[in-house]
Every structure is written in structure tokens, then in C-alpha cells.
Chains A and B, each alone.
Chain A
């Protein structure tokens, strides 16, 4: 009963716009005091502190910083130029360039919001100038940027791995094939839409142009090789990989390209710090909630009651998928992962689901959630840049979201797709 009241209070606080991190902290602290007595309150200070001292999560500000440096040093621009030379000849070339550039950007920054803000500010106006409807321009940029959630080094994957107590590197690797598959399918949909609406090609294919732009972008293209190569080979941890990304981006930007816009970098560092702080406040406050839920064994009770209803792994995955899709409609991805993953993990283990496989399912659900209003962080950012109505953009986005949902169900019910690389290299 007290658990039900706690969840009700949490929902109520969130609905009246109390920051979710604070709402978590308030409900957990009050429930703990009611259950165990007020002498427990000093633990709030201790848990709020220890909850945020998680080494793996240091990767979050560092990957955001790496993305900021990429923008401040013209690395993003060079990636766009190279992608344009590579795929711009296809009908709907700029949409292809957007998806291709997002794939490259995703493999360094790990943040979909950072990706849509960085690439969208260049590519959405460019698409509008070429006659693409602004709704379509926003939709394709938003969906393409969301690939950052599925591809390594995805920030939601890092948060999931910490909350689920599983290997970050394995979750990263599980996302590689579905992420690339998603990128290819988004390109197919973009091409089909372009042919249907007679969108223009961007530039004729010329091998010399590809060679020239490749020379310019070669150092930038080396970034994901260094970072992901380092992480997957075991040379560096995910956190150190993020540090490496910062140094490599800084060296390439300042020494090779000799472009370092300090004011852009400064603003981006502050924004990165803000993003980190808002997510980490959730992590710290969720540690309080975690203490309470563990104390009363709520996750175990939840697992037992659902297992009584069905013990079929596929049925449980279907229920969890629907649950996460609904949560994703109303909640920021980091908040949803932090809040729900610790509660469902005992169920995941009891049903014999691999936590790495489940990690990809969760992050894919969050990727869909970022595209579906009312709470759709990536979509809203794209709409802000395009100055387009969110509902009109959502209509244009339906085919792209359908691709993400298709990938989600493919990953859920054909575990070999995300897991074969993990099985091959790490088990």
C-alpha cells in the first residue's frame, strides 16, 4: 500500500512540474522516513553523494565535450562535406547526407540531442533552401540523430549499463549491427520518399570529389576508429575512451584543422555540463529510491507477480516493450532508464533474458520515445531549428519511426542480430 502511495505521489509531483530528480528524492525520503523512522534522514545526504560517484558515468560529460569540440573545430562540417560527396548523388541527396553524417557523429558524441542540434542547424536550413518541406527536413534529421542512442558510444547505453550492473562495452557492441541496419533502412525510406516527391539530388558523383573531401575529413573519420577501437579492444575503458575522444578531437581540431572557436566551445561546455548535471541529479536521487525499493524488496515482488501471470520470455519481452514504449511517450529517456531499469532487472534475470540484449531493447524503446510527443526531446529540438509544428513533423516522421519500431521488434525477437558479435568476441 505504501509503495502504491509512493508511486502515486511521484506521479503527482512530476505532473505539477517538480523536476523529476527532486520528485524522486522527495518521495523516496518521505517514504523512508514513514517506513523506517526519521533517524534515516541523514542517510539522504550520504546517498545523494555516493549515488553520483559512479566512475563509468564520467563518460557522459566527456562524450558530450567531445561532440562540442567537434562542432567548435569544424569536424562536423567536414563530415557533412565528405558524406555529401559520397551519397549526395542519390535522389533526396541531402536527406541521405543527413543520415550518413548522423551515423558518423553518433559514433563520437553518443548524444542524439547534441547530434540533432549540431547537424540540424546546418542541414535543416540547407534542405529548406533546396525545396524540401521543413516538416520533412526536421523529421529526417530527428530520426537520423536518434541513431546515436543505438550506436556506440550511446549515452543512454552507459546509463543503462550502470543501472543494470552490466558491461558497457558489451551493450555498445550489441548496438553496432542494429544501429547500422537502422541507418540503412532510414536511407531506404528517405530515398523512397524523395523519389515519390521528386526531391533533388545534391551533387553528381565524382571520384575526385570523394577523394578530395576524404582527404579533408580523414582525420575526423579517424576519431571513431580511435575511440571505438580503443574501447572494443580493451585498451581503454568506456570512460577513458571518452577522455580519448576529447583529446583526439581537440588535437585534430586545433593542430590539424587549426580551427578552434573558443566561444562556441565555452557555450557547448556549459550546455554539456548542464545536460550532465540534470541527468546525474536523477541518478543521485534514484539511488535514494533504490535504497528504499531494495529494502522492501519491491523489484523481487514485481518479478514474482509478473512471473505468476506468464513465464514465457517472449511474452515478458512484449509486455516490457509496451511498458517502455508508453513510458517513452511521457518521460525523458535518461529518467525512464534510471527509474524503471532497477525495478525490472530481477524480472529480466528471472525470465532468463540476457541483460545485454535487454539493454539494447530498452535503448531502442527510448529511441522511439525521443521521436514521439508529448515528451520527445530530439524531435522538439529539430522542430525548434526548422520552426515547424511538432504535430506536422510527427506526421512526416511516421515512416522513419516505423523503421525504428521494426528494428526494435527485430532486435527483441531475433536476439542473434544484436548478440552475435558479443557472443563471438566476449563470451
Chain B
């Protein structure tokens, strides 16, 4: 099954809830997963709403002859935030666009080895991204938005290191769930 479109049709959560029962020994991971999932859901909802409000306000104010000077600068920042915080949620639910068929159809042992390689690469990339994002923040000290001079560019660009760390945590949680699922499939 294609995970992205299952997610889009709302069927993925049903499939996941059926295939990943919570057991006592991984209750910590389960509660971490559900807390992170719920928090990121709200972040996504708030950012999407804000994006709609900003774009519509920008249009309306322009129509009334009082254009918002910060509109063009703030809206894309919200999109960047939605991208990286939403990506964390997508990593947690394993719905990023990919090509899962080959791994899914490979023998169990190879599948698990490939799973470990995958998680190492993903975590490695976001460790580098978090470090690079942090270096950018250091370089942006005393830099502010052009249209909102009180807003530090460090805040707007903090999404890269913070989003990367969230992605790493989400990927690891999702991977532990995936590993457990592989074990359950082989025992059933």
C-alpha cells in the first residue's frame, strides 16, 4: 500500500491502530509517541490556520488600501514552520513520500538490516541539519526581519535545528514501532 495516500484518505491511522497494539513494556515509548503525535497535530492545525488568516488578511487589507507590510515576509516563514514541524509528524506516522515496496517485499532479516540502514541515514542527515541550522542561528545574531524589526531572524530560522531534533526523535520512535511490528509478524 502507498502510505502517503493511505494517510491522505485517513485510512492509515486505522491500519496503524489495528497493527500496533500497546503492550506494558513499551508504555514509555507509547506515551511519548502519543504525546508527540498530539502536540505536533496541534502545531500543524495552528500553523495551517495562521497561514490562512495571514493570507486572507493580507488580501483584505490590500483591498482596503492599507497593505500589510509584513505579509510577504511572514507567510513564507509560517510555511517553512509547517514544513518542518509537519515533517516531524509525518516521520512519526511514517508517511513521508518514499518507495517502501522493495523493502516490504524482501525477506525478514534483510528487511530489518535495511530498516537499520534507513534509520541511521535519516538520523545522520538530521543531526547534520540540526548542527548546520545551529551554526546559521549563531551567524544570525543581531539580524531581524525587514518588515518586523523587533522579530529576530534567529526565532524564524530556529525551525531547522528544532525541527531536525523533532524529526530525529520521531524517526526513532517510529522505527521502534516498526521493529516491533516485524517481530510480531514473524511470531504470528
- Which A residues have a C-beta under 8 Å from some C-beta of B? 13-22, 25-26, 29, 41-46, 48-49, 52-55, 57-58, 61-62, 65, 113-114, 116-117, 120-121, 236, 239-240, 242-244, 246-247, 266-267, 269-284, 330-332, 334-335, 374-378, 380-381, 384-385
Contact with A along B97-134 (1 / 0, CB 8 A): 11111111000000000100110011011101101111
In the assembled complex, 24 residue pairs joining A and B whose CB atoms fall closer than 8 Å, in A order, are A18-B118, A22-B126, A45-B160, A49-B133, A49-B157, A53-B80, A54-B76, A55-B72, A58-B51, A58-B76, A62-B52, A117-B10, A239-B55, A266-B45, A269-B45, A274-B8, A276-B86, A277-B44, A277-B89, A278-B4, A281-B84, A281-B87, A331-B99, A380-B6
B173 within 8 A of A: no
A46 to B117, CA, bound (A): 27
Q: Is the CB of B160 within 8 A of A48?
A: yes
Q: Is the CB of A271 within 8 A of B8?
A: yes
B69 within 8 A of A: no
Q: Is the CB of B8 within 8 A of A117?
A: yes
B179 within 8 A of A: no
- Which B residues have a C-beta under 8 Å from some C-beta of A? 1-2, 4-11, 41, 44-45, 47-49, 51-52, 55-56, 58-59, 72, 75-80, 82-87, 89-91, 93, 95-104, 114, 117-118, 121-122, 124-126, 128-129, 131-136, 139, 157, 159-161
Q: Is the CB of B55 within 8 A of A281?
A: no
Q: Is the CB of B44 within 8 A of A274?
A: yes
A380 to B6, CA, bound (A): 8
Q: Is the CB of A385 within 8 A of B136?
A: no
Q: Is the CB of A16 within 8 A of B9?
A: no
Residue in A closest to B117 when the chains form the complex, CB atoms: A16
- A-B contact sample (5 more), CB < 8 A, given A275-B4, A380-B5: A19-B98, A45-B161, A243-B59, A277-B44, A380-B1
Residue in B closest to A288 when the chains form the complex, CB atoms: B129
A41 to B131, CA, bound (A): 9
Return chain A residues, CB-CB under 8 Å to B9.
113, 116-117, 120-121, 381, 384-385
Most buried by B among A18, A58, A334: A18
A14 to B2, CA, bound (A): 14
A16 to B114, CA, bound (A): 6
Given contact pairs A19-B98, A45-B160, A240 touches B59 in the complex (Cβ within 8 A): yes
Return chain A residues, CB-CB under 8 Å to B122.
18-19, 22
Q: Which of A20, A57, A114, A117 contacts B98 (CB 8 A)?
A: A20
Q: Is the CB of A54 within 8 A of B79?
A: yes
Most buried by B among A14, A55, A334: A55
Q: Which of B6, B77, B79 contacts A280 (CB 8 A)?
A: B79
Given contact pairs A17-B98, A48-B129, A243-B56, A277 touches B5 in the complex (Cβ within 8 A): no
Q: Is the CB of A13 within 8 A of B121?
A: yes
Return chain B residues, CB-CB under 8 Å to A271.
7-8, 10
Shortest Cβ distance from residue A77 to the other chain B in the assembled complex, whole angstroms: 17
Return chain B residues, CB-CB under 8 Å to A375.
2, 99
Return chain A residues, CB-CB under 8 Å to B72.
55
Q: Is the CB of B59 within 8 A of A244?
A: yes
Q: Which of B48, B104, B132 contacts A41 (CB 8 A)?
A: B132
